[in-house]
Structure 1
Amino acid sequence: MLKSLFNWKVLLNLIVAIGVFVGLVWLTFRWLEYHTHHGQEIPVPNIVNKSVQEAIKILDDSGLEYEVDSFNYDPKYRPFQVLQVYPIPGSRVKDGRAIQLRVNPRTWAKVEVPDVINKYSGLAFQRLEQVGLKVGDTIFEPSIQKDAVIRILYNGNEVKPKTKLARFSTVDVVIGSGPLRNIAIPNVVGLTVKEARQVIARSMFEVGLVDHEDGSKDESDVIYYQDPAAGDVRDQGMQIDLWASKRTLAELSAKIEQLNSTYRMKVDTTLPPVQYQEMPVREESGSDIPPPPAPRRESTKPSAEMPRTETSRTTVPATETNRPRTTASGNNSATTVSGSNSNRPATTMTTKPAEKPKAKKVVID
């Protein structure tokens, strides 16, 4: 077996196989050097703070590829200004290497408008600020949803929820201020159901029950009755019930009378009008008023030397038959004195002695 291994034919084949393998390896490395530009490196140019258009042109002239990535918006820099470069400027890279550029965008990143319609205004403002939107003007509009958000405006145009706006954009909010009062009900009798809906909506009311005579939902049916009636006043947002049919009003007269008896209040005009009469004011007579009380007179105390008599004189008219009488009380004694004149006052005396003096007669003229 060893003898056959050292045969010149075997050795020749082995040498040829080794030569072919070495040649393939050499060609592979040469091809890699040529493809990767081995030993050929290009310095990364300094393109920081340049516009993205200028940076791309410089990289193309240098034989370098590029990848542009938007950076967080910074208002201190110009829009589309190159803020960062990777690899850093001055680094040596091979020809065809992709350079990553971080560019300042034109404005803030866009955010979605949150769904705050029909939400309380305080919560809506908080939600808008959380996503990065600023609330500008607050506009109040009559609505049954008081203090609720009705619409959101951006540059005067209404925006729907999930619409994307630039971060920190200013939006205006329309808020309900409460319903209007005493609005006249429009007349929709004779209109189609579709036309009646539009008229009712413009009048700031809502469509309530729609009763189709044939049970269909045809919007072309004509309204022959409504409740409340036209001309009545209601608050904003009240519902108006409609009755619709394909027949004419003349054919539905009996039906209208039946509905009137149900929904319209009848007023009896045959009764006489109510008359109101004013009752005379009763004047109180002067006799009912009690007389004022008589003034009281103060009495003086007698001195210690001699007794003083406190008298109270009351003069009343008297005829000749009426004689004045004087009654004096002191030490359990009373005296009656008659005068010569026909008209004498009746006097009552009360004597308060200091030391039990003897009774004295007092004559009062």
Structure 2
Amino acid sequence: MLKSLFNWKVLLNLVVAIGVFVGLVWLTFRWLEYHTNHGQEIPVPNIVNKSVQEAIKILDDSGLDYEVDSFKYDPKYRPFQVLQVYPAPGSRVKDGRAIQLKVNPRTWARVEVPDVINKYSGLAFQRLEQVGLKVGDTIFEPSIQKDAVLRILYKGTAVKPKTKLPRFSVVDVVIGSGPLRNITIPNVVGLTVKEARAVIARSMFEVGLVEHEDGSKDESDIIYYQDPAAGDVRDQGMQMDLWASKRTPAELRAKIEELNSIYRMKVDTGLPPIQYQEMPVYQEQTDVPPPPSTTPKRETPTPSAEVQKTNTQKPAAKTTTSSVNDPSKPKTPSSTTTGTNTANKPAATTQKPSEKPKAKKIVVE
């Protein structure tokens, strides 16, 4: 077996196989060098702060490709000015390498209109300012959605949410001012359901219950009854209920009378009007002292000291008179009467306590 390994034919085949393998490896590396331009590098030119047109022309002359990307707008630089380059200027790259350019855009990037429809106006204004939009005019429009954003206008045209606008654009906001009062109900009897919807919407009301006689939902059915009735006054946004049928209102007179008995109240005007009277306001009485009596109270006089003194002095005066008189002469009737009257009239003295009795003068001859 060893002799067969060292046979010249085997050795020749082995050498040939090794040579073929080495040749294939050499050819592969040569092909790669040719295909990848190995050893051929080009320096990246300095194109920072140049305009994008000049930078593209320089890269084309150098045999380099390019990719242009907009950078965040900076008002300190010129529009379409190259701000960054990758790889950095001075780096060596192979021929055909793509160079990335960061360019200052012409203006601010567009922003999306936020979805603030039917939102409170105060929050909507803050959201618009956060994305970079400015609020111009505020327009108030009658609507049941008071203080809510109804539409957003850009140059007089309504824009939908997520519409892209230039940054710092001025938009007008339409806000609901509340419902209108005392609007006349339109007459939709005799119209189709589709036509009635349009009339109700123009009159700023809403369609409520729509009852079809046959249970279908055909918009071509004729309206034969409505509630509230035509001519009534309601506020904006109130609902109107409709009854529709394929027959005419004249053919549904019995049904209409039945609905009138339910939805139309009859007021009896023959009764006298109700009169309202104001009730007197009740005031709580406080304790009031009774008025003083006008009849003078009769008081019992008390004898004064002078009366008592006079009464005590009267017997002395009588004694003196009797002692002074002459016994030979008879007593004068006046003196006796006077003395008697004076002694027998205590009531008169008590009735006039303030008058002092006068002393009687007796003449002695």
Corresponding residue of 1:343: none
**1:252 aligns to what SS in structure 2?**
helix
Residues 94-120 of structure 1: CA deviation (Å, up to 9, x unaligned): 111111111223443444333322222
Amino acid at match of 2:45: P
Corresponding residue of 1:257: 257
TM-aligned CA distance change 1:334 to 1:248, over 3 Å: farther
Corresponding residue of 2:112: 112
- Percent identity, aligned pairs only? 90
2:150 is aligned with 1:150: yes
Corresponding residue of 1:70: 70
TM-aligned CA distance change 1:190 to 1:2, over 3 Å: same
Corresponding residue of 2:57: 57
Corresponding residue of 1:28: 28
Structure 2 matches for 1:333-344, cutoff 5 A? 333=354
Amino acid at match of 1:199: V
Structure 2 matches for 1:1-365, cutoff 5 A? 3-268=3-268, 333=354
**1:102 aligns to what SS in structure 2?**
strand
Distance (whole Å) between structure 2 residues aligned to residue 273 and residue 38 of structure 1: 113
TM-aligned CA distance change 1:36 to 1:274, over 3 Å: closer
TM-aligned CA distance change 1:27 to 1:74, over 3 Å: same
Corresponding residue of 1:297: none
Amino acid at match of 2:91: S
Distance (whole Å) between structure 2 residues aligned to residue 50 and residue 140 of structure 1: 50
- How much has 1:270 moved relative to structure 2? 5.2
Distance (whole Å) between structure 1 residues aligned to residue 114 and residue 186 of structure 2: 37
Structure 1 runs not aligned, ≥5 long:
277-330, 336-365
Distance (whole Å) between structure 2 residues aligned to residue 184 and residue 137 of structure 1: 31
Residues 103-160 of structure 1: CA deviation (Å, up to 9, x unaligned): 2234434443333222222222233334443333222111111111212222322222
**2:28 aligns to what SS in structure 1?**
helix
TM-aligned CA distance change 1:261 to 1:5, over 3 Å: closer
Tell me which structure has the larger Cα radius of gyration.
2
Distance (whole Å) between structure 2 residues aligned to residue 79 and residue 332 of structure 1: 132
After alignment, is 250-259 or 190-199 more displaced? 250-259
**1:250 aligns to what SS in structure 2?**
helix
Amino acid at match of 2:86: Y
Amino acid at match of 1:38: H
TM-score (norm 1): 0.68
Amino acid at match of 1:145: Q
Distance (whole Å) between structure 1 residues aligned to residue 30 and residue 266 of structure 2: 110
**1:138 aligns to what SS in structure 2?**
strand
Amino acid at match of 1:128: L
After alignment, is 213-222 or 45-54 more displaced? 45-54
Residues 187-243 of structure 1: CA deviation (Å, up to 9, x unaligned): 111111111111111111111111212221111111122111222211111111111
**2:61 aligns to what SS in structure 1?**
helix
**2:83 aligns to what SS in structure 1?**
strand
TM-aligned CA distance change 1:184 to 1:334, over 3 Å: farther
Distance (whole Å) between structure 2 residues aligned to residue 266 and residue 110 of structure 1: 64
More helix by share: 2
**1:105 aligns to what SS in structure 2?**
coil
Amino acid at match of 2:237: G
- How much has 1:185 moved relative to structure 2? 1.2
Distance (whole Å) between structure 1 residues aligned to residue 79 and residue 256 of structure 2: 71
Distance (whole Å) between structure 1 residues aligned to residue 81 and residue 234 of structure 2: 61
Distance (whole Å) between structure 2 residues aligned to residue 211 and residue 15 of structure 1: 102
- How much has 1:180 moved relative to structure 2? 0.9
Residues 255-292 of structure 1: CA deviation (Å, up to 9, x unaligned): 2222223222324455688999xxxxxxxxxxxxxxxx
Distance (whole Å) between structure 1 residues aligned to residue 355 and residue 199 of structure 2: 109
- How much has 1:250 moved relative to structure 2? 1.5
TM-aligned CA distance change 1:332 to 1:30, over 3 Å: same
Amino acid at match of 2:148: A
Residues 1-56 of structure 1: CA deviation (Å, up to 9, x unaligned): 55544443333333333333333333223222222222322222233233434433
Alpha carbon RMSD of aligned pairs, Å? 2.9
Residues 43-90 of structure 1: CA deviation (Å, up to 9, x unaligned): 222332334344333322321112222322223334433221111223
Distance (whole Å) between structure 1 residues aligned to residue 145 and residue 263 of structure 2: 28
TM-aligned CA distance change 1:53 to 1:334, over 3 Å: farther
